[in-house]
Amino acid sequence: MTAIDDRHLVDVRNVRHFYGTPSGGDLLVLDDVDLTLFDNEIVGLLGRSGSGKSTLLRSIAGLIEPTSGQIRFAAEPETKAPVSVSMVFQSFALFPWLTVLQNVEVGLEAKRVPAETRRKRALAAIDLIGLDGFENAYPKELSGGMRQRVGLARALVVDPTILLMDEPFSALDVLTAETLRTDLLDLWCEGRMKIRSILMVTHNIEEAVLMCDRILVFSSNPGRIVAEIRVDLPQPRNRQDPKFRKMVDDIYVRMTQPAAGAKEGRRDDGLFPGLGIAMVLPRVSTNTLAGLMEAVAADPFKGKADLPELARVLHYEADELFGVAETLQLMRFAELEGGDLRLTPAARGYVEAETDARKQLFAKHLLAYVPLAAHIRHQLTEDEPELSAGGVRETLEETMSPEYAEETLKSVIDWARYAEVFAYDESADLFTLDNPS
Ligand code: ADP
Ligand code: MG
């Protein structure tokens, strides 16, 4: 290991990562990622679904080996051993057959800590994280928030130098997530955890601004850090503080700007790179899409809305709105620029139309701008009246994980069903032309 500057805890240099695809191809997920984690900071990695955030975090945690590049860790002052990391997962990743106490102790088992010390440390971590009294409960008896507390206790019990968190709050309901965020921030600010730095992945702008000292904005396809934003607001932060709001707005603007390269005529770069059918489609219902178009068309927006303001008026979490806005943009019902969403003439036509005309317009845009929908429809009309969804799923899995492939399929099925472009028979896992209209 090469020595690194003592203020650096971790140095990630030129990291690239490819995933192999079933047909033997390579999917570039991380491209030349550089990142330094310093002492005493919370850093956020902010990016959309599928941009490679988890891949980067897993590389740092040592769970996967990046295809190329280096990840270097500083040495602990006393032991000279490399600094240690622990990770908290979105899905909690608890063992259902173990109690809370046993789940937390698992963290120490690999370290050959004597049983008695193990118990003592596990109880201390459980106490710290607010799980006192639940030592003997099983995960299924706990709420989501409590389960994630177990996940945190298990990560903290080993006294890591660095805590890595992969969307730790996104599986929780809004209130539970907020309580856990504030509890964790309190522990951090009061110095009650031994960790020296936290690196957390999120796709939630507000969460990043609430918690982080520094936010790294990640672009997609391939994942790359495109901006670094310092958040100099003192803790505890107030979401209503105008400075807080401005920060959120500014990040919105940055994230809706087309990526560099889009200006050089590569029209489809930026938010929606020309991936053809291999594009991860956000899970958004047609009702939500219609609702947003109607809201923006109406007063006070009259066709153009500031995204953060729209999120507030419609009571969306800032990041929820992204998926909806992205989908409208993809289908050319809206344009996104500088934090504004502007309806296209097609969207205004949609809002004014009756049910059937709406469906027809939606169908037209779906087939013109969502290559996956066009592909399935084409197969059905030109080839066979039935198409195995399994084959389509496999094709998607060439370029995305099985989870994203499933989400993408679900989205396209919902949209196509509404537009009566094709139907899907769940029991047979088949696409058909036959519309249940
Ligand atoms: P994020 O955490 O930002 O949502 P991920 O790191 O999970 O992104 O995934 C980045 C890209 O890599 C996605 O396109 C995803 O489908 C793909 N991917 C992730 N894991 C695998 C895998 N094990 N095999 C193939 N592709 C994968
Ligand atoms: Mg992820």
Spatial separation of the C-alpha atoms in residues 91 and 150, rounded to whole Å: 12
Give the closest ligand to the alpha carbon of residue 22: 1
pLDDT value, residue 378 = 87
Record the tokens describing residue 99, joined without a space: 């109690």
Local structure of residue 30 (DSSP, 8 states)? E
Closest ligand 1 atom to 203 CA: 3
Q: Which residue has the higher pLDDT, 418 or 314?
A: 418
**What is the reported pLDDT for 24?**
75
Q: Which residues pair with 18 in a beta bridge?
A: 28
Reduced 3-state DSSP string for 272-289: CCCCHHHCCCCCCCHHHH
Tell me what pLDDT residue 352 has. Answer: 96
pLDDT in the model for residue 265: 34
Cα of 258 to ligand 1 centre, how many Å?
A: 22
Residue nearest to atom 23 of ligand 1 (CA): 401
Which ligand is located closest to the Cα atom of residue 27? 1
Determine the Cα–Cα distance for residues 15 and 34; give it in Å rounded to an integer: 7
Burial class of 184 by CB neighbour count within 10 A (0 to 12, 13 to 18, 19+): buried
Buried-exposed string 240-260: b where 16+ CB fall within 10 A, e elsewhere: eeeebbebbbebbbbbbbbbe
Judged by DSSP in three states, 328 sits in helix
Taking the centre of ligand 1 as the mean of its atom positions, its distance from the CA of residue 400, in whole angstroms, is 6
Taking alpha carbons only, the member of 22, 398, 27 closest to residue 220 is: 27
Give the distance (Å) from ligand 1 centre to CA of residue 115: 38
> Can you give the pLDDT at residue 140?
93
Q: Is the dihedral of CA 344, 347, 349, 351 positive or negative?
A: negative
Q: Which of 419, 430, 338, 336 is nearest to 379 (CA)?
A: 430
Around ligand 1, the residues with Cβ closer than 6 Å are: 19, 27, 29, 47, 49-55, 400-401, 404
Determine the Cα–Cα distance for residues 418 and 437; give it in Å rounded to an integer.
10
User: Quick one: pLDDT at residue 78?
Assistant: 84
CB 333 within 8 A of CB 347: yes
42-51, 150-159, 258-267: range with lowest mean pLDDT: 258-267
Distance in Å, CA 388 to ligand 2 centroid: 28
User: Which pLDDT score, from 0 to 100, does residue 170 have?
Assistant: 85
Pairing type for strands 214-219 and 85-88 reads: unpaired
User: Does 262 score more than 60 pLDDT?
Assistant: no
404 Cα nearest atom in ligand 1: 16
Q: How confident is the model at residue 319 (pLDDT cuts 50, 70, 90)?
A: low
Signed CA dihedral, 126, 127, 132, 136: sign only: positive
Q: Is the pLDDT of residue 432 over 60?
A: yes
Q: Lowest-pLDDT range, 60-64, 252-256, 324-328?
A: 252-256
| Predicted confidence band of residue 429 (pLDDT cuts 50, 70, 90) | very high
Q: What is the spatial distance between Cα 219 and Cα 383, in angstroms, rounded to a whole number?
A: 37
**Mean pLDDT on 202-228:** 90
Ligand 1, closest atom to CA 403? 16
pLDDT attached to residue 4 = 58
Mean pLDDT, residues 276-287 taken together: 83
Starting from the CA of residue 59, give the closest ligand: 1
Hey, what CATH topology would domain 2-254 get? Answer: Rossmann fold (3.40.50)
Ligand 1 centroid from CA 34, angstroms:
19
Confidence of residue 272 (pLDDT cuts 50, 70, 90): very low
Average pLDDT of the chain, as a whole number: 88
Task: Give the model confidence (pLDDT) of 11-25 as tens digits.
Answer: 999 999 998 877 777
One-letter amino acid of 144: G
Q: Which ligand is nearest to the CA of 29?
A: 1
Query: How large is the average pLDDT for residues 59-85?
Result: 92
Q: Is 131 helix (H, G, I), strand (E, B) or coil?
A: coil
Ligand 1 atom closest to the Cα of residue 201 is 2
pLDDT for 318: 64
> Which alpha helices (H) appear in 238-370, and where do they start and end?
242-256, 286-297, 307-313, 318-330, 345-352, 355-369
